């Protein structure tokens, strides 16, 4: 390096680096600021429209099967949200496919990528006793954001502009879809169903399909492992009040589908993810509170002895779930906004719109899973595995049998316990790169040694098990095994040396191969991406 000159080269670099860092950290985020989560469905629709992510359809379209066929084509081609303004036979518009792409899911949460959600939650979960003043102030800020997330009660709400009771209660007002040809009736598919534990008063919110029976009643599809079902089971007099909120802001709607432990409030998590508390208003005919920003609210009762045969229903498993006994929801009031918009979703053979609800859950729950199983680096629930059929997990392996420990942990963790198969790989494997995972499963597994068969609770919707909701589990240990696990010497994986890679990188332009990938990693990544995209389309 030549000595002299007015500014020493090292100093110049440092100033340049500082400026570059400032631009990257301060200016760029301001320029491409992602909009914050929206406060209600109408603001969300306006945002979608502004961003070219929503198409209004004014032609009359039939909620009986026809909407499904249109939406299925749009979802599978990565198309926009749809607002059907004239559904046949109904008084209200229908919004669908609001969650159907990764981009819209990120818009809903006001993040650039879904992984940012994990970072946000991880910061809170990993709160440590603060060291020093700066740390204390930062921790206080985080604690305040939790306190500010608790739902708040308000006295007036748009969702009660119209109140219908008695004979005026009429589900025929809404464009409830019959989704698939063998469905016996229309189903409400995107509800936030609110109940309370009668003993503790703890509120639960869950998303459970509701088959329409008549103008004033539906089934309530509370599966046996779910919190809503537990609230009914525990009711001292066998009946509980129920409120159903339809047409929420997208984050609160998502929170109803989140598999949280029973004592953790879905609406608190929604408030935290939104950055503002969910506002609640008291119901008119039952002792419950509902999100004030809802478009439509159904109030009523469910009684353990008041049951009927629900289904079949074309489900997210890709099959029809067979008819089965479920409780009936008797509606005592419908409250709503004037010109309320009815929200819907169609599930079916994957990929469907619910894929991105599941992917949001996968990312949001990573830090929580790491709290119990810290050796987990990352995990992936393949869409084709319909949430509960398969989980791929990468671990920092540090003792014999470690992969099996993680399999058992997954089978013991909340609703993850329902998963049928667990694939465990080493930390350097990209769990989202299915081709890479397949390589390690094929290469590293000795089927006589590395497969763990077990049994346990299985998702109630699973049709493959002999007994409903109980069956087999399989674990694949695709990690490297060495002498510490009593195996012969494990071979080394092939890798080019860093020096040669750097040399070829430096010479790439000279070779006249410009435009081609400049190294094996880039190459593999590019191939993996196309494969993942194919799987997701």
Helices 41-50 and 102-109, axial angle in degrees (round to 10): 130
CB 228 → Mn ion: shortest distance, Å?
Answer: 8
Name the segment binding ligand FMN (CB under 6 A); options: 100-108, 220-228, 289-297, 394-402: 220-228
Binds ligand FMN by CB under 6 A, chosen from 44, 84, 180, 208: 208
Under rule CB under 6 A, residue 357 binds ligand FMN: yes
Point out the residue whose Cβ comes nearest to Mn ion. 227
Which of 205/425 has CB closer to Mn ion? Answer: 205
CB 191 → ligand FMN: shortest distance, Å?
Answer: 9
CB 353 → ligand FMN: shortest distance, Å?
Answer: 8
Under rule CB under 5 A, residue 204 binds Mn ion: yes
Helical segments of 342-444, H only: 354-372, 402-410, 434-444
User: Annotated catalytic residue: which of 227, 249, 315, 459?
Assistant: 315
Under rule CB under 6 A, residue 99 binds ligand FMN: no
Under rule CB under 6 A, residue 222 binds ligand FMN: yes
Buried b (16+ CB within 10 A) or exposed e, 46-62: ebbeeeebbeebeeebb
Residue-by-residue DSSP string for 78-139: T--EEEES-BTT-SSEEEE-TT-SHHHHHHHHT-SSTHHHHHHHHHHHT-----HHHHHHHH
Name the segment binding Mn ion (CB under 5 A); options: 74-82, 209-217, 223-231, 380-388: 223-231
- How far is the C-alpha of 177 from the C-alpha of 186, rounded, in Å? 5
Binds ligand FMN by CB under 6 A, chosen from 246, 345, 410, 441: 345
CB 415 → ligand FMN: shortest distance, Å?
Answer: 6
Under rule CB under 6 A, residue 433 binds ligand FMN: no
Residue-by-residue DSSP string for 333-344: EEEE-TTPEEE-
- How far is the C-alpha of 294 from the C-alpha of 248, rounded, in Å? 5
Name the segment binding ligand FMN (CB under 6 A); options: 35-43, 257-265, 446-454, 522-530: 257-265
Under rule CB under 6 A, residue 347 binds ligand FMN: yes
Question: Which contiguous run of DSSP H or E holds residue 253?
Answer: helix 250-255
Answer for the pair 257, 326: CB distance below 8 angstroms, yes or no: no
Name the segment binding Mn ion (CB under 5 A); options: 87-95, 178-186, 226-234, 313-321: 226-234
- How far is the C-alpha of 253 from the C-alpha of 341, rounded, in Å? 14
Binds ligand FMN by CB under 6 A, chosen from 87, 259, 271, 311: 259
Answer for the pair 253, 263: CB distance below 8 angstroms, yes or no: no
Bridge partners, residue 291, by sequence: 280
Binds ligand FMN by CB under 6 A, chosen from 101, 160, 218, 223: 223
Q: Which does 253 bind (CB under 5 to 8 A by kind): ligand FMN, Mn ion, none?
A: none
Binds ligand FMN by CB under 6 A, chosen from 216, 226, 363, 420: 226
The half-sphere exposure of 444 on its side-chain side, counting CA atoms within 13 A, is 23
How far, CA to CA in Å, does 343 sit from each of 7, 160, 488?
Answer: 63, 17, 58
Asked if 315 is an active-site residue, the reply is: yes
Three-state secondary-structure class, residue 168: helix
- How far is the C-alpha of 171 from the C-alpha of 296, rounded, in Å? 11
Which of 204/389 has CB closer to Mn ion? Answer: 204
Point out the residue whose Cβ comes nearest to ligand FMN. 206
Which of 117/258 has CB closer to ligand FMN? Answer: 258
CB 86 → ligand FMN: shortest distance, Å?
Answer: 24
Name the segment binding ligand FMN (CB under 6 A); options: 165-173, 219-227, 241-249, 293-301: 219-227
Written as six digits, the tokens of 381 are 């629930």
CB 491 → ligand FMN: shortest distance, Å?
Answer: 43
Q: Which residue, chain included where needed, has tokens 């991406």?
A: 529
Question: Which contiguous run of DSSP H or E holds residue 522?
Answer: helix 520-536
Binds ligand FMN by CB under 6 A, chosen from 92, 178, 209, 359: 209
Under rule CB under 6 A, residue 289 binds ligand FMN: no
Q: Which residue, chain included where needed, has tokens 């939790």?
A: 146
Under rule CB under 6 A, residue 326 binds ligand FMN: no
How far, CA to CA in Å, does 345 sit from each of 209, 243, 315, 357?
Answer: 10, 19, 11, 11
Under rule CB under 6 A, residue 221 binds ligand FMN: yes
Written as six digits, the tokens of 82 are 């749809």
Interaction residues for Mn ion, span 242-261 (CB under 5 A) = 260
Sheet holding 470-477, edge to edge: 376-380, 390-395, 421-426, 470-477, 451-457
Under rule CB under 6 A, residue 388 binds ligand FMN: no
Which of 204/383 has CB closer to ligand FMN? Answer: 204
- How far is the C-alpha of 266 from the C-alpha of 351, rounded, in Å? 26
Which of 228/367 has CB closer to ligand FMN? Answer: 228
Under rule CB under 5 A, residue 231 binds Mn ion: no
Binds ligand FMN by CB under 6 A, chosen from 183, 227, 299, 355: 227
Q: Which does 461 bind (CB under 5 to 8 A by kind): Mn ion, ligand FMN, none?
A: none
Name the segment binding ligand FMN (CB under 6 A); options: 139-147, 201-209, 271-279, 296-304: 201-209
Q: Which does 359 bind (CB under 5 to 8 A by kind): ligand FMN, Mn ion, none?
A: none
Written as six digits, the tokens of 264 are 């953790």
- How far is the C-alpha of 152 from the C-alpha of 245, rounded, in Å? 16
Catalytic residue numbers, as ranges: 315
Binding site for Mn ion (CB under 5 A): 204, 227, 260
Binding site for ligand FMN (CB under 6 A): 189, 204, 206-209, 221-223, 226-228, 257-259, 345, 347, 354, 357, 415
């Amino acid at each position: 390096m030549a000595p002299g000159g007015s500014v020493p080269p090292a100093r110049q670099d440092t100033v340049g680096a500082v400026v570059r860092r400032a631009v990257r950290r301060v200016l760029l985020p301001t320029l491409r600021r992602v909009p914050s989560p929206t406060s209600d469905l109408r603001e969300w629709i306006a945002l979608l429209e502004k961003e070219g992510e929503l198409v209004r359809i004014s032609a009359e379209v039939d909620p009986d099967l026809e909407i499904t066929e249109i939406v299925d084509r749009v979802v599978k081609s990565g198309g926009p949200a749809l607002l059907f303004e004239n559904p046949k036979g109904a008084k209200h518009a229908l919004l669908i496919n609001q969650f159907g792409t990764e981009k819209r899911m990120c818009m809903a949460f006001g993040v650039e990528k879904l992984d940012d959600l994990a970072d946000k939650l991880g910061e809170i979960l990993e709160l440590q006793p603060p060291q020093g003043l700066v740390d204390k102030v930062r921790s206080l800020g985080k604690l305040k954001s939790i306190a500010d997330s608790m739902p708040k009660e308000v006295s007036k709400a748009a969702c009660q502009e119209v109140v219908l009771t008695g004979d005026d209660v009429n589900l025929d007002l809404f464009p409830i879809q019959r989704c698939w040809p063998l469905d016996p009736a229309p189903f409400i598919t995107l509800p936030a169903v609110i109940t309370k534990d009668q003993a503790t008063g703890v509120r639960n919110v869950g998303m459970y399909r509701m088959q329409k029976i008549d103008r004033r009643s539906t089934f309530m599809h509370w599966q046996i492992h779910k919190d809503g079902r537990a609230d009914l089971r525990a009711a001292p007099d066998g009946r509980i009040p129920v409120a159903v909120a339809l047409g929420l802001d997208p984050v609160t709607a998502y929170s109803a589908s989140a598999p949280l432990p029973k004592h953790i409030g879905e609406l608190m998590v929604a408030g935290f993810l939104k950055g503002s508390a969910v506002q609640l208003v008291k119901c008119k005919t039952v002792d419950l509170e509902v999100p004030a920003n809802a478009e439509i609210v159904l109030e009523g009762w469910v009684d353990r002895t008041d049951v009927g045969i629900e289904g079949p229903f074309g489900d997210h498993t890709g099959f029809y779930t067979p008819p089965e006994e479920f409780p009936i929801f008797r509606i005592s009031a419908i409250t709503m906004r004037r010109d309320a918009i009815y929200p819907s979703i169609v599930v079916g053979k994957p990929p469907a719109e619910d894929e991105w609800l599941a992917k949001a859950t996968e990312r949001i729950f990573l830090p929580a899973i790491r709290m119990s199983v810290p050796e987990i680096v990352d995990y992936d629930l393949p869409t084709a595995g319909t949430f509960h059929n398969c989980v791929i997990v990468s671990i920092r392996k540090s003792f014999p049998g470690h992969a099996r420990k993680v399999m058992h942990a997954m089978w013991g963790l909340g609703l993850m316990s329902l998963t049928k198969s667990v694939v465990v790989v080493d930390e350097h494997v990209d769990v989202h790169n299915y081709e890479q995972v397949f390589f390690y499963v094929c290469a590293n597994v000795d089927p006589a040694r590395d497969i763990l068969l077990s049994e346990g609770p299985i998702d109630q919707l699973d049709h493959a098990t002999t007994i409903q909701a109980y069956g087999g589990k399989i674990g694949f240990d695709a990690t490297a095994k060495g002498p510490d696990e009593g195996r012969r010497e494990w071979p080394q994986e092939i890798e080019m040396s860093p020096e040669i890679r750097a040399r070829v990188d430096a010479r790439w332009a000279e070779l006249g191969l410009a435009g081609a990938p400049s190294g094996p990693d880039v190459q593999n990544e590019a191939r993996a991406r196309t494969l993942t995209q194919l799987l997701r389309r």
